[in-house]
Amino acid sequence: MKAGSRPQYYRIRRMVQMVREGAETGYLPNSSDFMKEFEVSRRTVARDLDFLRDEENAPLAYDEARHGFRLTDETYMLPPVRISRREAFSFALARKLLAHYEDTPLHLDMRSVLDKIAESLEGDVTIEPDWLSEHVGVLPEDRVRIDPDVWAKLAGCVERCEAVRATYQTFDGRVSEYELHPYHLLAYHGNWYLMSWNAEKGRVATFALSRFRRIAATGQGYTRAAEFSPETYARQAFGIVGGEKPIKVRLLFEPKLAVYITERQWHPTQEFRTRRDGRVEMRLETTGRKELVRWVLSWMPDVKVLAPKSLRDRITEKLQDGLRTQQ
């Protein structure tokens, strides 16, 4: 979060912390220091100081001789954060959701963050854990184990814009060597994926972190392509797969799937039209053919591919392959 967008509750707590640090170091912070720290105007700093004195009863005083603020009562403590019943419920649910991502790289860090938040909370409303366990449940998605070292190496290379050489095992088991420019990390359906420039193919591709067998930072920097946007990539892809030539897709679902299909967001470009016989036509445009094929097959025999012909032919081929394996 950029400093200028920090909420007031953060700023006032940081102000008190800076004043305490000033008492220890001998340099008392003034309004200019607060403006620089939070990247806000002098007027905003003045409002925050007034809020501290008037609403939080902070014993702040300006020391004319030392040109900075100090606490006239060194024992002063800001009151803990107060939350509503609705906020308390949401917080408790967040902790419950986190429990289903144990063994993932961020679990310990996020658990620590939530514990610190819990310690700072104060309020008359509490949500009993037994009540939450009884009335609210979370079914976890299938997930894979991520090697923390793989996560740390790739996250570091993304941050530093450093190229890597990697040994990677593809979905069908093939092992290949790649030279990659790591761009972005993305969580999807129980796994983490690296969106990276594939030097060999000359385009952005996605790689599952669970399938990296070896990673070596090259020490060579790179410049991220100016046109790259993870949001744009995700909008054009289908699921996690994209980067190919866009195709315009038309699918026709049987009436018994109409409610389920239309109530969900499958793709950002999706459009629905219900026909008189109850069947639903779905239209979308995507650059992700592979996952689209698997998704369409999952609805067989209750969906028909209207367009494009290349997708219809691919679905037919897959269905015929499936029939042969059952003979």
Look up residue 326 and give its two tokens.
């059952």
Looking at residue 322, its amino acid is G
Average confidence (pLDDT) over 153-165: 93
Average confidence (pLDDT) over 58-73: 93
In this structure, the strands spanning 247-253 and 280-286 are: antiparallel
* Residues ≥6 apart with Cβ < 8 Å to 264: none
Banded model confidence at residue 145, pLDDT cuts 50, 70, 90: confident
Q: What is the C-alpha separation between 319 and 18, in angstroms, rounded? A: 66
Give the model's pLDDT for residue 109: 61
Looking at residue 29, its amino acid is P
Per-residue model confidence as pLDDT tens digits over 176-231 = 999 999 999 988 887 889 999 998 888 888 999 999 999 999 999 999 888 888 88
Checking if the pLDDT of 125 tops 50, the result is no
Banded model confidence at residue 234, pLDDT cuts 50, 70, 90: confident
Q: What is the C-alpha separation between 292 and 310, in angstroms, rounded? A: 12
Give the model's pLDDT for residue 315: 96
Helix (H, G, I), strand (E, B) or coil at 284: strand
Please indicate whether residue 295 or residue 132 has the higher confidence score (pLDDT).
295
78 neighbors 58 (Cβ within 8 angstroms): yes
Nearest to 17 by CA among 38, 1, 2, 47: 38
Strand-pair partners of 177: 167
Per-residue model confidence as pLDDT tens digits over 259-304 = 999 999 999 999 999 999 999 999 999 998 989 999 999 999 999 9
Q: What is the C-alpha separation between 90 and 105, in angstroms, rounded? A: 23
Percent of the chain with pLDDT over 90: 55
Please indicate whether residue 88 or residue 43 has the higher confidence score (pLDDT).
43
Average confidence (pLDDT) over 132-161: 80
pTM for this prediction: 0.64
Give the model's pLDDT for residue 132: 54
Give the model's pLDDT for residue 282: 98
C-alpha angle with apex 125: 120 to 130, nearest 5 degrees? 95
Give the model's pLDDT for residue 1: 47
Give the model's pLDDT for residue 227: 86
Average confidence (pLDDT) over 128-147: 67
